[in-house]
Each structure stands twice: as C-alpha cells, then as structure tokens.
Structure 1
Amino acid sequence: MPVVTNLEQLIEELRIVFDSDQVDIDYVKELMTSYKSNKEDWAKYAMFDRFRYTRNLVDSGNGKYNLMLLCWGDGHGSAIHDHANSHCFMKMLQGKLKEVRYEWPDGEDSEEMVEIGSKILDLNEVCYINDKIGLHRVVNASDNCQGAVSLHLYCPPYEKCLVFNEKTGQRSSAQVTFWSKYGSRT
C-alpha cells in the first residue's frame, strides 16, 4: 500500500487503480483513508455557494471515475438519493457531515422512507455506499456555522440519479451538475 502524502499523489494512485476494469473497493477505501486532509492541497477546488452545496470536479479519471470536492455551507444538505449503480466513496476534509441511510422504497408512492442508520463523519473519516446497500442523504453537521468539505469518488461517473421524497417515497430523476471543474467556475 503506497503512502499518500498529498491530493496529487492520491489522484495518481487512483488512476493506476482504475486503469483496470476491476474495482477493489477495500483498496480504494484504504487509499482514500491514507490521504490526510491538507487545505493547501484542495483549497483551489473548494467553491461554496451560500444557498446550496456545490459539486466541484477535481479529476475525471480518464472517464472511469469522478473525483470531486463537495462544499457544504451552514445547514446545507442533499436530497435522499441513489448512486446510479456506481460506487460512492466519501472522505471528510473539513468539518463534519451526517450521513443518513435509507431502505429503497417498495414502489408504493405513499409510504415514508425507512431510515436504516446514521453516523457523523469527522475529519479524515471515509465511508462507502452503493445502491445495494441503500440510499442516503448527507447534511452539514459542523458546529459554529463552519463550512464542511468532503472528497467524493464515484465510479463509474454518472450524469443522472434518482432523488426521493422522504414523506412519500416518490422518486424522480435529477441531472447531476458541477459548480466548477478543475478549479474554474463553470
């Protein structure tokens, strides 16, 4: 296992891993864990919006994955969503996030979503989810109105996902967009 000392080295190692068509989930999680957050590495990608969280593309992994920084202002959170049959790795770089996991609705559009667990992610912690595990929502849980920053890796990348109404389980399709790419506003 290589020692990852900065974000650029993490990107280099991920490109090597994803040169193959096989994804070793445990190895990717170890790589993500081995990188210790250093704001100097990722600050140029961290772009916030005061009204909603932002998705900032860091690396497209030659089409095999998307590595992005998500920036969460005070009170910002995602909808309950799936991952379009992709793997999702999430690492905390600043602040705290609360991840709440849900069961897939049974198809009836009138039942409340069933929560199956939640946890707080602290600095440098990594979590993983895919559609077989369930759905999730992520919310900034930082103290003192601090912005949270998380590093996400989705493989393969996707352009649409499903979002779910918590009260009814009703699903709809959502287009996935980037607030910035490679450090420049889109």
Structure 2
Amino acid sequence: ELVALLHAELGSNGLDSEHVDVDRVKKLMSNYVSNKGDWQKYALFDKNRYTRNLVDDGNGNFNLMILAWPENVGSAIHDHSGAHCIMKILDGELQETLYDWPDKVITDDNEEQSKPMKITRETILHRDECAYMSDQLGLHRVSNPLKGQGSLSLHLYTPPYETCKTFNERSSKARSSGKCVFYSTRGEKL
C-alpha cells in the first residue's frame, strides 16, 4: 500500500517537482506502521556491513529500499548527491549524527588545512520514527548502536543516486564513494 501511495504522490517527476509537497511525502512515510509481514523478505543482512535492499525503483524517480544494519555497524559521513532522503525505523533503533558541511581552510601558502567535522546534532530514532535529510541540512552518518541486535530502516531517496561523497571525520576531507549497489532487489539476493 505504501509503495502505491508513493507512486501516486511522486508521479513521474519525483520529489523535486513543484507539484509535490515534501511534507505530504514525509507524512506518508510517517503514517506507515511497521509490520514485519510487509518487509521481512527484504530484511537481508550481512554480518560485516549494512546492506541496501531495493523494494521498488519508482520507475526511475525514486528508490525505496530497506537497509539492514548489523549490531555496531554504521555508514560513513556522507552527502546525498542532491537527493532527498526520508528514513523510517522498521525494527530496532538507529543513531543519526548530523554534521555541518566542512569549511575549506586555506593557509597562507595556499594549502588546504585539515579541520575536524563539526557535529550539530545526535538523535536516537526508535521503531516507527522518521527522519528527513537533504544536502541543504548538512551531512550525516547513520549507525546501529545496539549490541546483539540488528536494526532495519526504510529509506526513500528521490531522485535516486548512484554515488555520493564521504567525509573523514578528523580532517573533513571528501572523497567520492563507490557506486551505490544493492545487496538484494525485490527480496532476491544479488
């Protein structure tokens, strides 16, 4: 039902269309109540890293995926390459750490100086809570703080993206990530 509602709301334009209300899309995600029967076949884990499990490709306008987070695993600090991201916790909990975009510090001899990333907020998200992220809000990292338990989150990315930038927390230096790959698609491991 949620997939059908997202297709109807986002149409053929995605979230950046002037006819789409970001708050309505966030409300659709918020209103969905986590039901294991809906998402269990997409909850495919790898014990050493988080996995991206594609639920629906939104006809090229969005990606709806379930991310499976083993205990004590997290993402790098990253941007979203211009995409909007709405994240809903399906099971367990996740910690979201927000960062300011790094300032480039140039020394007198025109060399870039390293500077640590600045944390602006840390939030623990529980089952059925949502978070919204876009490049206008800064950068973030998501991690599973739970010991002995995996966590699952539903992510809507619109428009979909293939690569992003990751950032070193101590130096703020950015680098291009590898291509965003899926661990599974529509419940089938790749």
Q: CA deviation at 1:141?
A: 2.2
Other-structure match for 1:163: 166
Residue equivalent to 1:16 = 8
For residue 91 of structure 1, give the secondary structure of its aligned residue in structure 2: strand
Structure 1 length-normalised TM: 0.93
Q: Which residue of 2 aligns with 1:133?
A: 137
Residue pair 1:95, 1:141 contacting (<8 A) in 2 also = no
**In the alignment, which of 157, 171, 183 is matched to residue 154 of structure 1?**
157
SS of structure 2 residue aligned to 1:16: helix
Check whether the contact 2:183–2:189 (CA below 8 A) recurs between aligned residues: yes
Aligned to 1:68: 65
Kindly report the root-mean-square deviation, in angstroms, between the aligned alpha carbons of the 2 structures.
1.0
Aligned residue number for residue 125 of structure 2: 121
CA distance in 1 between partners of 2:21 and 2:73 (Å)? 32
User: For 1:125 and 1:61, how far apart are their aligned partners in 2?
Assistant: 23
**Correspondence for 1:6:** none
Q: Distance in 1 between matches of 2:104 and 2:133?
A: 21
Identity of matched residues, %: 50
Query: CA contact under 8 A between 1:92 and 1:123: conserved in structure 2?
Result: yes
Q: Distance in 2 between matches of 1:34 and 1:82?
A: 26
Structure 1 letter corresponding to 2:126: D
Greater radius of gyration (CA): 2
Aligned residue pairs total: 177
Amino acid aligned to 1:140: N
Q: Secondary structure at the match of 1:51?
A: coil
TM-score, normalisation: structure 2 = 0.91
Aligned to 2:36: 39
Displacement of 1:68: 0.2
Q: How far apart are residue 176 of structure 1 and its match?
A: 1.1
Q: Work out the CA distance in 2 between the residues paired with 1:157 and 1:24.
A: 18
CA distance in 1, matches of 2:8, 2:170: 43
Question: Which 5+ residue runs of structure 1 have no aligned equivalent?
Answer: 1-8
